[in-house]
Structure 1
Amino acid sequence: MSTDQEIKNVVLVHGAFADGSGWRGVYDNLTARGYRVTIVQNPLTSLEDDVEATTRVLDRQDGPTILVGHSWGGTVITEAGAHAAVAGLVYVSALAPDAGETTSQQYEGFAATPEFVIDVVDGYGFLNHEKFQAGFAHDVSDADAAFLRDTQVPINMSAFGTPVKNAAWRDKPSWAVIATEDKAFDQAMLQHMAKRAGATITNVSASHAGFITQAGVVADVIDAAAKGATRTSH
């Protein structure tokens, strides 16, 4: 088996307000290259529940794995990435807290994003109906934005206040794809988190939904991570 093909497993973790189906373009791209791709369906009920959902999928992998997270999924992979199967991490416009930090703390000191509005109902957050496209996916079609809006999965807001116990990026190589037109996070915040994690950064012109609209770029970075993590393990 050639060196650049030794890591063949990829696990994709979605973020808040979404489900795993948004990864379809990345899934199709990577499976065409011969990767074994599995998509986690986070319950979004707590950090612990999402980490457990991810760990269950990691337990099913048959070898070293690249673990990928979008948005809130970055917090999930930061914790779940301690799993022995994980050889490298890819953050796609994603949060990357340190051990002992909460997701909410990542926003401190950075600019607010007025397009990204969360409505809270019974402790669960939904993205605002009117601002959904502007805040989450301004570069998809109106029809696709409406579908994403109307299929969104709410997140238990308490998850954002739960500290991460382990920061896998401190021990494992990391890559980051940062959408330069992201309206969910301040650009400076995304760059800060990725640089602190020591990630190899790829910037791409996209909305927060860049995992959908720039699936080819995201897949290329995951492929590079699989090859790069293989080299670092030798």
Structure 2
Amino acid sequence: MSTSTKPSIVFAHGLWADGSCYSKVIPTLQQEGHEVVSAQNALDTLEGDVDAVSRALGRVSGPAILVGHSWGGFVITAAGTDDRVAGLVYINALGPDAGETPQDLIAKYDPPALFSHLDVEDGRIWISKDGISHFCGDLPEQEQQLVWATQGAPPADLLATAKTDEPAWKSKPSWYIVGKQDRAINPELQRFMAKRMDATTVETDTSHVPMLSNPALVLDVIRTAAKTVQSS
């Protein structure tokens, strides 16, 4: 690729979130010359969220870095086989192998604390008010309450049914941020997935949402990924 053109950045958010969860890193990336789109995932099906990322890729110049947080990692693992994608960045994210469901991955290690603080209503899974501290407990209280108030809610069967056939990390360079204080995805599971995908791995002493509690580190990892694919 031309050394004068910076890769585009396309974000995929996780469960109980929306595209604005990247609001602390998007402005800086734009100022540094990247085209950026944060896909709005409906969280209904893997296929629907992959389609949303594909549409976002169509809104920016290629090649692109896909960045996925939590469930968004599952999405970029499926969407990242697109020829427009040059690299993958996982933030406390699920990175499945072929045929694995989120539930399969979560079951490999002790269940995270958040899973004892979820409510199922109208066929959807919500974080309870007393559970938000397990999701983003290293944020100020006002920010925690904003995360709770704006949460998306996935269908109750999504974690047991979503599967991908061709994991993008097998063919694209990957970076992985491990949140050592994560209570939503076991840090040991994160390390297992990062090692399996041979990802360049960085650990941070944060909760499940380092893009909100440690955006500088997340920016550094994205910059490294962009520079690597730009020079290749």
TM-score normalised to the size of structure 2? 0.94
Aligned pairs for 1:174-213 (under 5 A) are: 174-213=174-213
Residue 86 of structure 2 corresponds to which residue in structure 1?
87
Residue 229 of structure 2 corresponds to which residue in structure 1?
229
Aligned pairs for 1:33-48 (under 5 A) are: 33-48=32-47
| 1:8 aligned partner, one-letter code | P
Long gaps (5+) in structure 2: none
Offset at residue 214 of structure 1 (A)? 1.0
Runs of 4+ aligned residues of structure 1 deviating over 4 Å after TM superposition are none
Equivalent residues of 1:68, 1:92 under 8 A apart: yes
Offset at residue 2 of structure 1 (A)? 6.8
| 1:159 aligned partner, one-letter code | L
Aligned Cα root-mean-square deviation (Å): 1.4
Offset at residue 226 of structure 1 (A)? 0.8
Residue 75 of structure 1 corresponds to which residue in structure 2?
74
Residue 118 of structure 2 corresponds to which residue in structure 1?
118
1:204-230: CA deviations, max 9, x gaps? 111101111111111110110011123
Residue 98 of structure 2 corresponds to which residue in structure 1?
99
Distance 2:213 2:187 in 1: 18
Offset at residue 45 of structure 1 (A)? 0.8
Equivalent residues of 2:118, 2:131 under 8 A apart: no
Counterpart secondary structure, 2:37:
strand
Residue 148 of structure 1 corresponds to which residue in structure 2?
147
Distance 1:127 1:181 in 2: 18
Distance 1:129 1:208 in 2: 16
1:31-65: CA deviations, max 9, x gaps? 12111111100001111111111111112222200
Counterpart secondary structure, 2:113:
coil
Aligned-pair identity in percent equals 38
1:166-206: CA deviations, max 9, x gaps? 20000000001111111111111000011111110011111
Distance 2:192 2:122 in 1: 33
| 1:176 aligned partner, one-letter code | Y
Indicate yes or no: 2:156 matched with 1:157.
yes
Residue 21 of structure 1 corresponds to which residue in structure 2?
20
> Which 10-residue stretch deviates more, 119-128 or 68-77?
119-128
Residue 11 of structure 2 corresponds to which residue in structure 1?
12
Equivalent residues of 2:6, 2:230 under 8 A apart: yes
Distance 2:99 2:7 in 1: 32
Offset at residue 84 of structure 1 (A)? 1.1
Distance 2:107 2:85 in 1: 29
Counterpart secondary structure, 1:87:
strand
| 2:107 aligned partner, one-letter code | E
Aligned pairs for 1:54-65 (under 5 A) are: 54-65=53-64
> Which 10-residue stretch deviates more, 57-66 or 11-20?
57-66
1:81-107: CA deviations, max 9, x gaps? 011110000000000001111111111
Offset at residue 151 of structure 1 (A)? 1.1
| 1:218 aligned partner, one-letter code | V
Distance 2:60 2:35 in 1: 9
Long gaps (5+) in structure 1: none
1:111-133: CA deviations, max 9, x gaps? 11224422112221111221112
> Which 10-residue stretch deviates more, 153-162 or 81-90?
153-162
Counterpart secondary structure, 2:146:
helix
